[in-house]
Amino acid sequence: MQTTVRGTILGLAAATMVAIWSIGAAAGPAQHRAASVTIVWAASPISNNGLRQHLITAFERAHPGIRVRLQSQPTNTDTNRQELITEINSGSATPDVYMGDVIWPAQFAQAGLAMDLSKVFPSTFWRRFAPGLVAGATYQGQVYGAPFFMDAGFLYYRKDLLARYHLPVPRTWTQLAVDAKTLLAHHAVRYGFVWEGAAYEGLTCNLMEYLTDAGGKVLSGTKSLFDSPASVRAVSFMRSLIVSGVSPAAVTTFQEPQAMNAFAQGQAAFLRNWDYAWSNSQSSPAVKGKVGVAPLPAFSASGYPGYSNIGGWNLYINPHTEHLAAVRTFIEWMTGVAGQTQLATYASEIPTNAQVQRLPEVRKLNPVLGVVSRVRLVARPAYTPAYAKVSSALYTNVNLALTGQLSPRAAVAKAAQAIAQAISGQGL
């Protein structure tokens, strides 16, 4: 009850502050006109450790009335999350704005740890983002995170081997399996296709791509939809990759590093992994210069490209901030063309701004940035505060199906039952 009352008061305060600020800003992008104000940005290191300060310097140059103090957060996401929860729950007005995982909106919103940004930014603000990103930052119809930089699943392939054996870059999962079997038959590689099949969060990400392509969903509001033919189709196909020999049995123990290493060492023809995989592959003599990247396949050619799970980080506002107008200006710039271009060109992070994704100077930086605007994004079912339990139900039971300990049908039914129990109490 206390959290609800506090959230209502903070919401009214935020709305009042936005209304006052908007009087002078309705005609264009946010411009903070105060003589001088300092805001605190909490952010863990990004791929290039100098990127955070680079962005701050560029922002301060564009907005000399606002200073930004960086509060460096732990690299471990769970530790970072707990520190922010403790700090904001104490009532502290800092950090004013913080960088957080894309799966945090529901938990942080329910706990009163993140401001409802739907009341801070106009509806036109959200149009700048690539399709699918805002939905992933939404809880109960309200947006709590501004997409900052993104990640997604991509298909990496040995372009030298496909050329040698006159094989197409697969646009369907069936074609991928055929290509992989051809290369295995010629002993060109040890493994056909490697991916993340261990019982952990990464398997949930992989599953969401097959499931969505099959037409399935995990949740609708507080109702579990996972017990469906689409779910059985998705899990059955994942299991078939192993049974057929396209993927090794060991893939059921692979997380990102194991899948990446197998591909980087030249042992696999195809890899499903995140955006960093291309850069990693270029540091390996075994595959340097031999790797291509494409959107993930689909179950049908007409459905290409398939779906890519969303990873990445959002910008959230501390409900206790005393500098809402300045924070709004900060987020406007960080997610606008100027900030997002800096993000992409300085560190090759994937921008969330759709316009920046299409810029020639961004697309030419590496093959991943060249294809990202073509991927279709799908979020994990993180729009429930019980997401940790939902994800555990998915990856635990799907892994049992992958190892053959449960049939795909039984694994789906068991996961659906656990999901229903988790969301019935919306437990954390």
Tens-place pLDDT, residues 26-40:
334 444 454 599 999
Of 8, 327, 295, the C-alpha closest to 152 is 295
> How many other C-beta atoms lie within 10 A of the C-beta of residue 122?
12
pLDDT score of 260 more than 50? yes
Of 273, 253, 272, 262, the C-alpha closest to 399 is 253
CATH superfamily of 154-306+384-425: Periplasmic binding protein-like II (3.40.190.10)
Burial class of residue 150 in the structure, from the number of CB atoms within 10 Å of its CB (0-12 exposed, 13-18 middle, 19+ buried) = buried
In this prediction, residue 35 carries a pLDDT of: 56
In this prediction, residue 22 carries a pLDDT of: 38
pLDDT score of 13 more than 50? no
Residue 406, helix vs strand vs coil: coil
Same fold, 2-144+311-374 and 154-306+384-425: yes
Of 383, 346, 379, the C-alpha closest to 143 is 383
Q: Which whole number is the average pLDDT over 288-299?
A: 97
Q: pLDDT band at residue 205, thresholds of 50, 70 and 90?
A: very high
Mean of pLDDT over the chain: 91
For 343, list phi and psi in degrees, rounded to 5. Answer: -60, -45
Q: What CATH fold (topology level) applies to the domain 2-144+311-374?
A: D-Maltodextrin-Binding Protein; domain 2 (3.40.190)
| Ranges 32-36, 236-240, 253-257: which has the least confidence | 32-36
Per-residue pLDDT reduced to its tens digit, 164-200? 999 999 999 999 999 999 999 999 999 999 999 999 9
Give the H or E element holding residue 276.
Answer: helix 276-281
In the chain, domain spans: 2-144+311-374, 154-306+384-425
> Peptide bond preceding 305: is omega within 30 degrees of 0, i.e. cis?
yes
In this prediction, residue 401 carries a pLDDT of: 98
Please give the Cα distance from 314 to 307 (Å, whole number): 20
Per-residue pLDDT reduced to its tens digit, 116-139? 999 999 999 999 999 989 999 999
Q: Which whole number is the average pLDDT over 52-63?
A: 97
For 114, list phi and psi in degrees, rounded to 5. Answer: -140, 140
Please give the Cα distance from 119 to 101 (Å, whole number): 21
For 412, list phi and psi in degrees, rounded to 5. Answer: -65, -45
> Peptide bond preceding 351: is omega within 30 degrees of 0, i.e. cis?
no
In this prediction, residue 95 carries a pLDDT of: 98
Per-residue pLDDT reduced to its tens digit, 296-349? 999 999 999 999 999 999 999 999 999 999 999 999 999 999 999 999 999 889
Please give the Cα distance from 200 to 286 (Å, whole number): 29
Per-residue pLDDT reduced to its tens digit, 344-388? 999 889 999 999 999 999 998 889 999 998 999 999 999 899 999
